[in-house]
A and B are shown apart, each in its own frame.
Chain A
């Protein structure tokens, strides 16, 4: 199969992709989803390797599948360059954070009450909230031109904030709506 790309990264670009994801791994305070805006900026806006619509569809695929949300990184990697792309993005996003976690787990655990760690965690909390909202906003881009999809997105936010319904049902319902009016 051919990966769904607007234009594929050339051979020499893969070093840059790896560097970008290695960096994102270290910046992913609060989870992989908080790096969505930066991945979107890099893959869609800057390099045009994916369209807005492809980017959102790929994150949706990962969300519809079981497993950690992080797997959207694998799907994006596959999308820009098949197995090689997946390998590069997954190694990039996992290597620094897992190494750091193994090295720092005991260190951080012993110092979780210290002023520095507390200032880091609480001080950056507003920024991570802003990042999560940005992720949702950017992933919604393909939906803003279609009133049905926009309504679906708004309804999802309302239902999700007010109830504890399992997200998989919402995703299934979204797929159904999209089949008719997407």
Chain B
């Protein structure tokens, strides 16, 4: 369980971040300490998991996480809100897309690896088909000036959406264990090295990542 004053917790006022962002949702900290209630229902088969995850994935425009929460917690009632946030917190610690990790863990708990594959397959298969149709269409019409213009316009928005996600996460650093000044400085250093100097990511994680981990480790001394 995460403690209510976990240093990573974003501002309670900050809007929820879109899918697959490195945030711990505000609710995770707020509810993390509460006792767990049992979910009202459980999936009956891997097939049912596959169907529900397909349905929710196809509704998720610009991020599946909010839909996943709504479908699993409110509609199917396979998870309580607390259980959902707990799964999400673990999903965020591990490498890989958060919703993909969350799906895997949910399915795995219900029916072992078959359930995990059902959830993962449901989350990915149908949207993959949709996105491929769009990609093939793009390749066909990429030379068409209007299509190229539309894609450039959508690309500008896509870039803005992702940049905005980063901006929305910035206030969360105020309460970072490293201290606000150091946390902002490390974020800026990372941006400069990755975006401007194009230093390969493994070097940065091995170097700056190790520095940050060590500093955080020392500060968290019990």
Of A97, A118, A126, A160, most B-chain CB atoms within 10 Å: A126
| Contact between B153 and A175, CB atoms less than 8 A apart | yes
A160 touching B164, Cβ below 8 Å: yes
A84 within 8 A of B: no
By the criterion CB–CB under 8 Å, are B212 and A127 in contact?
Answer: yes
In the complex, residue of chain B having the shortest beta-carbon distance to the beta carbon of A74: B128
Is B184 engaged at the interface, CB distance under 8 Å to the other chain? Answer: yes
Distance in angstroms between the alpha carbons of A132 and B164 in the assembled complex: 9
Q: How many residues of A contact B (CB 8 A)?
A: 112
- Most B Cβ at <10 Å: residue of A115, A134, A150, A176: A134
Closest to B143 in A: A4
Whether A130 pairs with B156 at a CB distance below 8 angstroms is: no
B37 at the interface (CB under 8 A from A): no
Bound-state Cα–Cα, A153 to B140, Å: 26
Q: Is B52 an interface residue (CB 8 A)?
A: no
Residues of B within 8 A of A33 (CB): 20-21, 162, 165
B interface majority secondary structure: helix
* Nearest A-chain residue to B105, judged by Cβ: A105
Smallest beta-carbon distance A169→chain B, Å: 9
Q: What does the 1/0 interface line of A121-163 toward B look like (CB < 8 Å)? A: 1111111111111111111101100100110111111001100
Nearest opposing residue in chain A for B22, CB measure = A30
Query: Does B41 lie at the interface of the complex (its beta carbon under 8 Å from any beta carbon of A)?
Result: no
**A91 CA to B163 CA in the complex, in Å?**
27
A132 touches B21 (CB 8 A): yes
Interchain residue pairs with CB less than 8 A apart (10):
A37-B194, A74-B132, A94-B96, A119-B213, A121-B8, A127-B205, A160-B164, A175-B154, A178-B152, A179-B149
Residues of B within 8 A of A (CB): 1-3, 6-8, 15, 18-22, 24, 57-64, 86, 89-101, 104-105, 108, 113, 116, 120, 123-124, 126-128, 130-132, 134-136, 138-140, 142, 146, 148-170, 172-173, 176-178, 182-191, 194-195, 198, 200-202, 204-205, 208-209, 212-217, 220-222
